[in-house]
Amino acid sequence: MSLNNIYFILVRPQMGENIGSVARAIKNFNIKHLRIVNPRCNWPNQKALAISVGAKDVLKSSKIYNSVEKSVGDLDIVFASTSRIRKINKETISITNLKKKIKKGRKIGILFGPEASGLSNDEISCADYLVKIPSNKEFSSLNLSHSAIIFCYELFQHFSKRKSSYKTSYKSSIAKKSEVEKFLSFIIKGLDKKGFLQPMHKRQSMIRNIKNIFHRLNLSEQEIRILLGIFSTLNKINKKT
């Protein structure tokens, strides 16, 4: 089972912009299949293509259907997105529990209703589960593309085989403690000249606090050089004035 078995289905979408945003969202998370049932905007739609940016291929390969039943006919499990609890005999789950209902080797459909009203009770009759995204109880209706991208993220997390880890491209090595101490000696010498470390009975405590600050920052060699340059420049400016 993989993301190749996931099908996003937009039922009676009203705005091309939202269709384009959904296409972009699913491609962001490596989902390829988009189906559209009775779009209420003109189709093909130029606004959808413009909003989709790099996901035009998703839109161009999308399939159009004239009924929900036909759009899910080849699928094994169907989840219907809903913003409200329905008075029907169908299990409603939180999106956080979506992965528990996904079975290996099954083709999965995710149904989304039109922006203004959501799916009708007739349209969700073919769904196995209703899925609710936990949100503000007083304002629970999400934008179509926002709802879709939350589903995308949950599915992507479930099917990702490896945990995400990221390495910075920053080149400079972490400064050695001796380099930090050299910088601190320069700072403390300058502060002594300006009479900052006064009164004398507080001097050692102040130095200790200054050292704690800079050792805690985990500075790189490049950052130490920059700080030395900054303080050297400020010292020259002060001498001139």
Tens digits of per-residue pLDDT, 163-175?
667 677 777 888 9
Residue 10 pLDDT level (bands cut at 50, 70, 90): very high
* Same domain? 99 vs 184: no
**89 and 38 in a common domain:** yes
- Any domain includes 57: yes
Q: Of 2, 7, 26, which Cα lies nearest the Cα of 144?
A: 26
**Taking 60 as the threshold, does the pLDDT of residue 1 lie above it?**
no
- Checking if the pLDDT of 211 tops 90, the result is yes
CB-count burial class (<10 Å; 0-12, 13-18, 19+) for 112: buried
> What's residue 91's pLDDT?
92
CA distances from 33 to 70, 146, 155, 194, 197 (A): 15, 18, 14, 68, 67
- Do 204 and 113 share a structural domain? no
Distances (CA, A) of 224 to 173, 177, 183: 11, 11, 7
Higher pLDDT, 228 or 239: 228
For residue 151, give its domain range.
Answer: 3-159
- Does residue 170 lie within any of the structural domains? no
- C-alpha 239/C-alpha 241 separation (Å) is 6
Cis status, amide bond into 114, omega within 30 of 0? no
pLDDT in tens, 16-27: 999 999 999 999
100: domain CATH number is 3.40.1280.10
Domain boundary among 101, 128, 159: 159
178: number of Cβ within 10 Å: 8
Identify whether residues 145 and 29 lie together within a single domain. yes
State residue 164's pLDDT score: 66
Which of 80, 99, 74, 85 is CA-nearest to residue 8? 80
The arithmetic mean of pLDDT across residues 219-226, rounded, is 91
Tokens of 190: 């300058």
Q: Are residues 148 and 219 in the same domain?
A: no
Query: Is the pLDDT higher at 141 or at 101?
Result: 101
Specify if 147 maps to a domain: yes
Q: Both 40 and 117 in a single domain?
A: yes
Q: Please check whether residues 199 and 138 belong to one and the same domain.
A: no
Judgement on whether residues 48 and 102 belong to the same structural domain of the protein: yes
Domain boundary among 126, 159, 192: 159
Provide the domain count of the chain.
2
Q: Is residue 166 part of a domain?
A: no
pLDDT of residue 163: 67
Query: Quick one: 154 and 181 in the same domain?
Result: no
Return the number of other C-beta atoms located less than 10 Å from residue 41's C-beta.
Answer: 17
pLDDT at 33 over 60: yes
pLDDT above 90: percentage of residues in the chain: 71
Residue 164 domain-assigned? no
Mean pLDDT, residues 95-124: 92
Dump pLDDT digits (tens) for 176-204: 999 999 999 999 998 998 889 999 999 99
Query: Is 141 inside any structural domain?
Result: yes
Q: In the structure encoding, which two tokens stand for residue 50, read together?
A: 């413009």
Give the length of the chain: 241
- Asked whether the beta carbons of 51 and 16 are under 8 A apart, the reply is yes
Residue type for position 40:
R
> Of 159, 192, 218, which residue is a domain's last?
159
Instruction: Judge if 50 and 14 occupy the same domain.
Output: yes
Q: Could you tell me if 195 and 120 lie in one domain? A: no
What values do phi and psi take at 40, rounded to 5? -90, -5
Kindly state whether residues 111 and 208 are assigned to the same domain: no
One-letter-per-residue 3-state SS of 151-214 = HHHHHHHHHCCCCCCCCCCCCCCECCHHHHHHHHHHHHHHHHHCCCCCCHHHHHHHHHHHHHHH
